[in-house]
Amino acid sequence: MVLKDRSIVLGVTGGIAAYKAAALCSHLVQAGAVVDVILTDAAREFVAPLTFQALTHRPVITDMFALLAETEIGHVTLARRAELIIIAPLTANTLAKLAVGLADNMLTCTVLAATAPLLLAPAMESHMWINPLTQDNLTRLCAQRDVTVIGPKEGRLASGASGVGRMAEPEEILDAAQWVLARRGPLAERRVVVTAGGTREPLDPIRFLGNRSSGQMGYALARAARDRGARVTLITTTGQPPPFGVEWVAVETAEEMGEAVLGRLPETDLLLMAAAVADYRPAAVAEHKIKKSEAERTVTLVRTIDILSQVAERRRADQVIVGFAAETEDLIVHAQDKLRRKKLDLIVANDARQAMGAAENQVVLLSADGRVEQLPLLPKEEVAHRILDRVMDLLPGPPADPAPGKRPLG
C-alpha cells in the first residue's frame, strides 16, 4: 500500500548480489511502485538491462551519453521525479564516489542531483566493508543526506569466505523502502506500543506453560502502524525479527511483558495489547529438570500481573488503549465486560479457536462509546488496518512530542 504509485529509482552497481536486485525490482513493481532502473557499467557485467526492462516495462538507463534517453529520462528528470533512491547492491566504489560527490555515470549524477532519501544496501568483501575508508565514506554521506542503510549481513560471500558483507535480502530491502516512504504518514511521530505472542511461564529450565498464540496479529499491527508513520515498539515473545524500523523488545513471561509495557506507558500514545498473556504461572520454578515418577504430580499456580488492569490505573485520558478478547463462548458479553473493567477505548473480540495461529481472523470491534462493528473474515494484515482506521478517530489532536525520531540502521 505504501509503495503504490511511488516513484522509485533503483540503482544497481557491480557486485555478484546484482542478480538479487532483479528480485527486489520485481517486489517493488508488484507493490505498485513506478521503478526506473539505472545500471552501472560494472552492474551490466553481472545482469542484463533486459531483465529489468522486462520487470518494469520501462526503459533501463545505462548510458549517460545516449542522447535520445537523455531527452526523455535524463538524470535531471529522474532526480526530480524520484521519491526514493535505492542502491542495491552498493559497492565500495560507488559509495566512495557518492561520499565525495562524484558524478561520472547516470547513477552518481542522479544521486547528486536528487534530494530524495537514499536507501543503501551495501554488499562487498568483509575487508572492504570494515576498511576505515569505507566506513568514513558512509559516515560522511549519512551526515550530508537522508540516508538509511540496510545491511550488509553476515554470511557466505562471493569469495567463498564467511563474514560481514552479504547484501540484505530483497524482502528486507523492500520492507526498509516501505519504512522510508511511510515516515510522514498520518501516525507520524505517534508512539505506538504493540504486544505480540503468547507468554511462557517456566516450570523448570526446559518446560513452560504457554498458549497457542503465534504473534501474527501483533506483528501485523506493528507493521500497519509503522506503515502509517508511527514510531513503533514491538514487545514480543516470539523470536521473529520485527518489521524494519520497529523497535524490538524480547520478553518471555507476563511479568517481563508487564515491566516492558508499564515502563514505556508514560511515552505511549497508543497501546495495542494483542498478546495472549498468561493469567497464572507455576508458584515455583524448579532449578533442574523435573524428573518423572509414577506418582501423580500437582502444580500450584499463582496469578500473574494483569497488565491492562495496571495500565488502567496509570493511563492518561489522551492515551488510546486497545485490548483483545479471545473467547470461546459469549464473545460480546465477555468482551464488553473486559472493555469496562480494563477501562479500554476499544476491544477487539474474536473466537480464540478460530484465530490463534491462523492467517485470517474474524473480529468484532467494540468501543467505549458503545459502538459495535462486526468485520468479515479477513487476512490479519487487513484486520490490523481496520483496527487502526478506528483508532485514528480516537487519537486526540497532534502528538505530544514533535521531535523527529532517530533513524535506525538496519
What 3 state SS string does 96-118 have? HHHHHCCCCCHHHHHHHHCCCCE
Binding mask 269-288 for ligand CTP (x = CB under 6 A): ----x-x-x-x---------
When CB distances to ligand CTP are compared, the closest residue is 307
Per CB under 6 A, 107 contacts ligand CTP: no
Burial of 86-96, coded b for 16+ CB within 10 Å and e otherwise, reads bbbbbbbbbbb
Residue length, the chain? 410
Residues that bind ligand CTP (rule: CB under 6 A) add up to a total of: 14
Interface with ligand CTP in residues 120-179 (CB under 6 A): none
Stretch of residues binding ligand CTP (CB under 6 A), selected from 139-147, 164-172, 224-232, 318-326: 318-326
Out of 111, 119, 325, 356, which residue is the one contacting ligand CTP (CB under 6 A)?
Answer: 325
Per CB under 6 A, 9 contacts ligand CTP: no
Interface with ligand CTP in residues 333-352 (CB under 6 A): 338
For residue 285, with 0-12 CB atoms within 10 Å meaning exposed, 13-18 middle and 19 or more buried, which class applies? middle
Is 125 strand, coil or helix? coil
Per CB under 6 A, 326 contacts ligand CTP: yes
- 81: cell is 521525479
Out of 157, 308, 346, 384, which residue is the one contacting ligand CTP (CB under 6 A)?
Answer: 308
User: 93, 105, 131, 211: which is the annotated catalytic residue?
Assistant: 211
What DSSP string runs through 309-337?
Answer: HHHHHH--TTSEEEEEEEESS-HHHHHHH
Rounded to a whole number of angstroms, the minimum distance from the CB of residue 388 to ligand CTP is 16
Per CB under 6 A, 235 contacts ligand CTP: no
Distance CA 388, CA 272 (A): 10
Distance CA 339, CA 7 (A): 43
Closest C-alpha among 324, 346, 336, 197 to residue 257: 197
Per CB under 6 A, 366 contacts ligand CTP: no
Concerning whether 211 is annotated as a catalytic residue, the answer is yes
Rounded to a whole number of angstroms, the minimum distance from the CB of residue 240 to ligand CTP is 18
94 Cβ contact partners less than 8 Å away, ≥ 6 residues apart? 11, 13, 40, 87, 107, 108
Q: Which residues bind ligand CTP (CB under 6 A)?
A: 254, 273, 275, 277, 279, 304, 306-308, 323-326, 338
Active site residues: 211
